[in-house]
A = this chain, B = another copy of it.
Amino acid sequence: MDTVATSLQGGTSSSAGHIDVTGGDHVAVRCRAVNDILARVGDKWSMQVVMTLADGPVRFNELRRAIDGISQRMLTRTLRALERDGLVSRAVTPSVPPRVDYSLTDLGRSLREPVLALGSWAMANRETIEAARAEFDRRPV
């Protein structure tokens, strides 16, 4: 727990000034790992894709129809990025026409829980946030 908090605070704990022999600032490395996931989770389509894959394998164009507004290009890119991180797996059935099914890996499934928690927070507080924004935007210039 503490390691996570520390990792999100930059390199303050290295203020003692000792040399890190491990070949890089491990605090920075941790920090990057966390921010990496936050960035992936925060991009426009990743989590929509993950949630759509929750109930089992889905084909490319099914996915495309299920996720409103996504372009073919972005769906491909998002799936590749998720696949690269080991969150999604791609199964090709070499037929005519070709069939490609995407599904969550165990890792991908395990990500759903913390993301859902964040989603719950967002839903629970969205009215409060909307109000705060309205208030802020209404304030004197």
Contacts and interface: CB of A to CB of B under 8 A. Distances in A.
Interface of A: 1, 3-5, 7-12, 28, 30-31, 33-44, 47-48, 51-52, 54, 66-69, 83-86, 107, 110-111, 113-123, 125-126, 128-129, 131-133, 135-137
B123 A48 contact: no
Given A67-B10, A107-B128, A117 B117 contact: yes
B110 A125 contact: yes
A129 B86 contact: yes
B85 A41 contact: no
A38 B115 CA distance: 9
Nearest to A122: B37
